[in-house]
């Protein structure tokens, strides 16, 4: 038994020794080979050039300026006099640089574990560096590398569409290795939406190096995949015209083909995206934040407004889908209605009323009472259901990040949001685009395309992405064609007959336009007010928002023009002239091929 134990111990010891020998001679060999390989080979990433963004005519909206970055050898803190000398040399060459900031950047990234040069100057323009390069390059402690900087030639005109790039944060670096290496990423607009395309893919260079890290031979080189450009549907000249046309007013204007191609999307006022490229100053950021007209907000997709009477076409169609035959009967408008035994008056915009009103007249003269009465026969749940089907209170699917959905309320929504029941009076005001109703201007434009064509398009800014055409998207919606035609006739009369609410500004254009005006209140009117103040007599921020949404040509719709003027009062008189000027511009610049005479 004793000998068996000794023999077993002997075998165990030898087994351990053999296993250890295998580990040292065979398995560890792979590890040390890789370690040795790292000591003699150096892999450097090659940054791709960010793709450019152009409008439909090839005008550059986002481009790259050529320049250089300046980096300093790490671990110079051991020799503070040398570090001081190097930074002073850079500042003497480029007096606009801040020495204190450069020192802070160096201190932040200087550690015993960092053996890479530390970038202390992100960008110096190409002409400025050319004269200084020979002398600076003599210093082995200074490293000068080619660099690009994003530039937006049209500034405020394209800011909300194109967006801007900025320095990437830790979260963005962790999510994308390309972003981590480049150090910049799209922060808003198309720059963010298509960042993966625009930034391209990294290349790399593998070199054999000496003990002092000096390259002596190139082993492998893979070029980056870059210059992945994007061409838009946007016409920047149209965009500029509309932007300048707003003047002192604030608001939104959208020009869209009926297939969803967006030719212009103006959110006014705007901001200069070039402020953000190198890091915006506290002063400039504060000015943007404190501006009550919100220039930093893209109101095209982030502005949520009561739609007012621009909702009435879809509301009528919602009635027809909810209750068969409901639109066959006329309504009588005496200027208001009351509910039950209540004395509360739900007033029409016309104090004297409209008398007998059918569907066409309700659209042409925008009679509120017509929609009040029909809504009580249908109910809020059905109204909400079908309006969402028609593109209101839901995201449009545009190729921009973080689009708002808006609100088309129903009973469940209110209970969830406010823990309150739904009241009949809320159904009445929802029927004319007030109360809890909130939409974005782009939803109104898309909804107008549905009325014009019977199809609900998906709005698109991009036309060609990295050489590939963007497919058009849209879905047909089942609508009662006879009622739809009556609504279109009503919209024609809005713009082309004397009783139409848009006649004064849209009746004498080179194309025949159909449309709908809207006035959405931002403050309620007390019941005690017998005669309402005129919009121009109110304080500015108490005035209603002014809407108009149109399509043209009437017989063969090609373009949608939707305009919102914040606190503009009446849609016909305030938003109407802007829409009229847009249609004139489109005709003058060859977008329309038919004149009024040709069409009728």
Q: Tell me the per-residue pLDDT of 288-339, one tens digit each, with 9 for 90 and over.
A: 999 988 999 999 999 999 999 999 999 999 999 999 999 999 999 999 999 9
Q: How many residues does the chain have?
A: 600
Assess contact for 41 and 207: CB atoms under 8 A.
yes
Domain boundary among 101, 120, 150: 150
- Tell the burial category of 190 from Cβ atoms under 10 Å away from its Cβ (0-12, 13-18, 19+): buried
pLDDT recorded at residue 217: 72
Domain extent for 266: 236-284+293-599
For residues 124 and 265, membership in a common domain is answered with: no
User: What three-state secondary structure class fits 356?
Assistant: strand
Query: Strand 336-337 vs strand 262-268: parallel, antiparallel, or unpaired?
Result: unpaired
The CA distances from residue 72 to 44, 46, 82, 213, 215, in Å, are 18, 19, 11, 16, 19
**Rounded mean pLDDT for each run of 10 residues along the chain, 600 residues in total:** 68 72 58 54 84 97 92 86 89 90 88 84 88 87 88 97 93 91 93 96 80 68 90 98 94 97 97 90 90 93 96 97 95 93 88 94 96 97 98 97 97 96 96 96 98 97 96 91 97 95 93 94 53 50 86 97 90 89 97 61
pLDDT recorded at residue 204: 83
Cα distance between residue 500 and residue 486, in whole Å? 15
The CA distances from residue 513 to 26, 245, 263, 443, in Å, are 83, 20, 18, 20
Assess if residue 544 is contained within a domain.
yes
What is the per-residue pLDDT across 227-264, written as a single tens digit (0 to 9) for each? 899 999 999 999 999 999 998 899 999 999 999 999 99
Q: Any idea what the CATH number is for the domain that residue 409 is in?
A: 3.40.710.10
pLDDT recorded at residue 214: 65
Assess if residue 57 is contained within a domain.
no
What is the per-residue pLDDT across 496-516, written as a single tens digit (0 to 9) for each? 999 999 999 999 999 999 999
160: nearest Cα among 294, 271, 238, 291: 271
For residues 258 and 400, membership in a common domain is answered with: yes
Nearest 10 degrees: CA dihedral of 322, 325, 327, 328?
180
Assess if residue 593 is contained within a domain.
yes
For residues 242 and 105, membership in a common domain is answered with: no
Number of domains in the chain: 2
Nearest 10 degrees: CA dihedral of 77, 82, 88, 94?
-90
For residues 127 and 244, membership in a common domain is answered with: no
pLDDT recorded at residue 254: 98
For residues 143 and 240, membership in a common domain is answered with: no
For residues 264 and 375, membership in a common domain is answered with: yes
The CA distances from residue 256 to 46, 72, 73, 202, 446, in Å, are 40, 51, 54, 37, 8
For residues 391 and 511, membership in a common domain is answered with: yes
Domain boundary among 150, 177, 192: 150
């Amino acid at each position: 038994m004793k000998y068996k134990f000794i023999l077993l111990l002997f075998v165990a010891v030898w087994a351990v020794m053999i296993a250890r020998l295998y580990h040292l001679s065979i398995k560890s060999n792979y590890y040390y080979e890789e370690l040795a390989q790292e000591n003699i080979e150096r892999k450097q990433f090659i940054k791709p050039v960010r793709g450019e963004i152009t409008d439909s005519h090839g005008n550059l909206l986002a481009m790259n300026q050529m320049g250089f970055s300046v980096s300093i050898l790490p671990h110079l803190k051991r020799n503070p006099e040398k570090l001081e000398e190097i930074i002073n040399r850079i500042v003497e060459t480029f007096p606009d640089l801040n020495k204190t900031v450069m020192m802070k950047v160096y201190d932040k990234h200087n550690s015993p574990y960092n053996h890479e040069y530390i970038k202390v100057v992100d960008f110096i323009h190409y002409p400025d560096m050319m004269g200084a390069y020979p002398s600076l390059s003599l210093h082995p402690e200074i490293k000068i590398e080619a660099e690009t900087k994003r530039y937006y030639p049209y500034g405020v005109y394209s800011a909300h569409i194109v967006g801007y790039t900025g320095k990437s944060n830790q979260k963005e670096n962790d999510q994308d290795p390309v972003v981590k290496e480049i150090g910049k990423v799209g922060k808003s607009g198309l720059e963010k939406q298509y960042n993966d395309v625009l930034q391209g893919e990294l290349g790399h260079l593998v070199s054999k190096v000496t003990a002092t890290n000096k390259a002596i031979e190139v082993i492998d080189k893979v070029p980056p995949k870059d210059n992945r450009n994007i061409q838009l549907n946007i016409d920047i000249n149209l965009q500029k015209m509309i932007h300048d046309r707003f003047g002192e007013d604030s608001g939104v204007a959208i020009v869209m083909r009926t297939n969803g191609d967006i030719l212009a999307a103006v959110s006014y006022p705007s901001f200069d995206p070039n402020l953000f490229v190198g890091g915006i100053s506290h002063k400039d950021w504060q000015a943007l934040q404190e501006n009550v007209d919100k220039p930093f907000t893209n109101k095209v997709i982030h502005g949520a407004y009561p739609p007012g009477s621009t909702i009435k076409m879809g509301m009528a169609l919602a009635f027809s889908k909810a209750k068969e035959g409901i639109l066959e009967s006329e309504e009588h408008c005496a200027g208001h209605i009351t509910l039950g035994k209540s004395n509360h008056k739900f007033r029409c915009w016309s104090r004297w009323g409209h008398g007998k009103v059918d569907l066409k007249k309700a659209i042409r003269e925008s009679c509120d009472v017509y929609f009040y009465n029909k809504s009580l026969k249908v109910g809020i749940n059905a109204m909400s259901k079908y309006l969402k089907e028609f593109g209101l209170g839901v995201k449009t699917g545009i190729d921009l990040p973080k689009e708002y959905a808006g609100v088309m309320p129903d009973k469940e929504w209110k209970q969830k949001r406010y823990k309150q029941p739904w009241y009949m009076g809320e159904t009445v005001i929802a029927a004319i685009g007030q109360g809890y109703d909130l939409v974005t201007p782009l939803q109104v434009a898309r909804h107008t395309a549905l009325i014009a064509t019977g199809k609900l398009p998906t709005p698109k800014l991009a036309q060609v992405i990295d050489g590939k055409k963007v497919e058009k998207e849209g879905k047909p919606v089942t609508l009662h064609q006879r009622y739809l035609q009556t609504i279109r006739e009503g919209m024609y009369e809005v713009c082309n007959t004397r009783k139409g609410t848009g006649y004064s500004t849209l009746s004498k254009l080179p194309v025949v336009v159909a449309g709908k005006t809207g006035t959405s209140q931002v403050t309620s009117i007390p019941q005690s007010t017998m005669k309402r103040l005129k919009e121009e007599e109110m304080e500015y921020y108490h005035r209603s928002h002014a809407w108009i949404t149109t399509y043209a040509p009437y017989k063969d719709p090609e373009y949608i023009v939707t305009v919102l003027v914040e606190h503009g009062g009446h849609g016909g008189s305030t938003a109407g002239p802007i829409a009229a000027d847009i249609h004139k511009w489109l005709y003058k610049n060859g977008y329309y091929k038919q004149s009024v005479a040709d069409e009728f």
